[in-house]
Amino acid sequence: MPADHTIDLYADLPLTLTTAGTGRPALVLHGGGGPAAVAPIAAHLARTARTITPTHPGWNGTERPDWLTGIDDLALAYLHHLHALGLRDVLVVGSSLGGWTASEMAVRDTAGIITGLVLIDAVGVHVPSEPIRDIFALDARGLADHAWHDPARHYQDPALLPPQQLAAQQADMATMRTLAGAPYMHDPKLLRRLRHVDVPALPLWGASDRIVTPAYGAAYADAFADGRLEVVPEAGHLPHIEQPEASFALIDSHLRRTGTLADAAR
């Protein structure tokens, strides 16, 4: 069963983690929707891997220190945590903003502890021909229309949410604006830096994503030394929720071709 605990990563940075399973370590990083949005990925991977799913500081009511103001801060903190645990051969899986964090970790991983990346409809790079949709400018209906292949199934009317849940969502969005609002949802230098990342990278994209399009995903994949885009039909920004079987099959295939065990078998 998954276990939740909080550690003091730094003196001023408590970090809430959910861990489960055994085997190759897999760090699972959520996007703006919080850890619940990547829980299906963590549960699937925990069958064969040791999953570590952090709650980004500032989400779900957790503490965010004043100095943690960018995705680079988040990436360095998670790299430090992996080092502190003495982990090697780590697969990093990130959804949306979590995918951006995974990419920033990879370009800073001078110790080579990351051996595979899965970027699920990730933001983080600037592609002039494929601008990232400004989600802060969308209302709840507009966000659903851009994020889901089947928005009618997944749309939640804010007027029907309990006040506490609505306040929590608004607080999470405020944290996301602090970390990723300027420049909006990207690091201007990241696309160029990714060419130095030679671990296998799987950008996994929903065909119907209108926040970051599959063409944006293709540019992301091309930036890596070893990147391969896979597009999931009838899925939007969270393909692992709309099309879990297809998404997990692609992730499992990537698992088999990455990591030190895969290298030894070749």
* In-domain check, residue 259: no
Note the pLDDT of residue 54. 98
**Which residues constitute the domain of residue 130?**
3-250
Q: What is the CATH number of the domain that holds 53?
A: 3.40.50.1820
- The crossing angle, in degrees rounded to 10, of helices 71-85 and 97-108 is 60
Contact 77, 8 (CB under 8 A): no
User: 102 in a domain, yes or no?
Assistant: yes
DSSP H or E stretch at residue 120: strand 114-120
How large is the average pLDDT for residues 209-228?
A: 98
Which one-letter amino acid corresponds to residue 39? A
pLDDT score, position 1: 67
Do the domain assignments include residue 28?
yes
Query: Does 266 score more than 60 pLDDT?
Result: no
pLDDT value at 262 more than 80:
no
| % of the chain beyond a pLDDT of 90 | 95
Q: Model confidence over 232-247: pLDDT tens digits?
A: 999 999 999 999 999 9
Asked if the model's pLDDT at residue 261 lies above 90, the reply is: no
Give me the pLDDT at residue 3, please.
78
Q: Are 103 and 121 contacting, i.e. CB atoms less than 8 angstroms apart?
A: no
Question: What pLDDT is attached to residue 263?
Answer: 46
The residue ranking higher by pLDDT, 48 or 258, is: 48
Core vs surface per residue 107-125: b (16+ CB within 10 A) or e: bebeeebbbbbbbbbbbbb
Average pLDDT over residues 82-107: 98
Please give the pLDDT value at position 265: 41
* Residue 56 falls inside a structural domain: yes
Average pLDDT of the residues in 207-211: 98
Query: Per the domain annotation, does 262 fall within a domain?
Result: no
User: Does residue 264 lie in a domain region?
Assistant: no
**Per-residue pLDDT reduced to its tens digit, 135-176:** 999 999 999 999 999 999 999 999 999 999 999 999 999 999
Over range 35-63, report the average pLDDT: 97
Q: Tell whether pTM > 0.85.
A: yes
Please give the pLDDT value at position 264: 41
Q: How confident is the model at residue 257 (pLDDT cuts 50, 70, 90)?
A: confident
Residue 260 has pLDDT above 70, yes or no: no
Whether 69 is covered by a domain: the verdict is: yes
Q: What burial letters (b/e) apply to 64-87, b meaning 16+ CB within 10 Å? A: beeebeebbbbbebbbebbeeeeb
Mean pLDDT, the chain, integer: 95
pLDDT > 50? residue 256: yes
Domain count, the chain: 1
Task: Judge whether 64 lies within some domain.
Answer: yes
